[in-house]
Chain A
Amino acid sequence: MTDRRTLLAGALLALSLRPAAATPEDEAAAVRAFTGGAPLRAGRVELDIPPLVENGNTVPLKVTVQSPMTAADHVTAIAVFNEKNPQPQVITARFGPRAGRAELATHMRLATSQTILAVAAMSDGSFWSASAEVVVTLAACIES
């Protein structure tokens, strides 16, 4: 079964997501479905993801949003999107004031180098965002 997979010269990798990538339009549509078309404002959201990833199969990611998390003023949802995996959605999490803090961490997959976008929905109807570029390097010695 080695024939499909080459090392060194070609250095191909077998990621769990084939690079039949989502298009920027797909991503824009997914973001629109989340925001209902409301504008995205930059700020209040911090997206923590490694800039350089040795293997896209397990990439730690954390989103933190500045919010008092009170009944009157809180984050209602955090969603993460990508450009080049087969599908633009990564995760959508729903929050309420009982969360205490607007924080979400997970491990994601990255089919290839791309920009990741995190969007927070606030109880006042506004949407805030942050993005980060991630470079994925190629694995060398992979499975037979």
Chain B
Amino acid sequence: MARVLLNLPRSAAKGSVIEIRCLIMHPMESGFRPGVNGSILARDIITRFSCDYDGEEIFHAELSPAIAANPFISFTTVATASGTLRFTWEGDDGFRQTETRALTVT
């Protein structure tokens, strides 16, 4: 189970730009690192992270092994209407996780 810290306001004025900051607990095992027995640890990274705002994708990023363990991603969006932001991250071995946050726009 990956834990995630999503930092964004619960409410915002219409038309304002809000900052969204995400921390995801994940080793981002690079696939280049030797383990204790000397053999290379299999790659295990988050490859894609995205954010939908009421169903429309407003941001996505492709990640590589050069992203630090416990990835941090920060970006912005315009608060257009009250609705749901859906964060999805997926990666090696077909894993995929989703979290949602409600945003009230006034």
* Residue ranges of A at the interface with B (Cβ–Cβ < 8 Å): 1, 16-18, 20, 57-60, 62, 82, 85-87, 89-96, 98-101, 103-110
Contacts and interface: CB of A to CB of B under 8 A. Distances in A.
A54 to B, nearest CB: 14
Interface of B: 17-18, 21, 30, 32-34, 36, 53, 56, 58-69, 71-78, 80
Contact of A17 (B65, B75, B78): B65
Shortest 10 CB-CB distances between A and B: which pairs?
Answer: A100-B17, A107-B68, A105-B74, A93-B61, A100-B78, A89-B64, A90-B66, A58-B68, A101-B76, A92-B62
Contacts of B78: 98-100
A59 B18 CA distance: 24
Given A103-B75, A107-B72, A89 B66 contact: yes
Interface SS, B side:
strand
Given A16-B30, A100-B77, A109 B60 contact: no
B65 A109 contact: yes
Nearest to B73: A106
Contacts of A94: 59-61
Q: Which of A59, A86, A87, A107 has the most CB of B within 10 A?
A: A107
B67 A108 contact: yes
Nearest to A98: B58
A82 B59 CA distance: 22
Given A86-B32, A93-B75, A99 B67 contact: no
A18 B74 contact: no
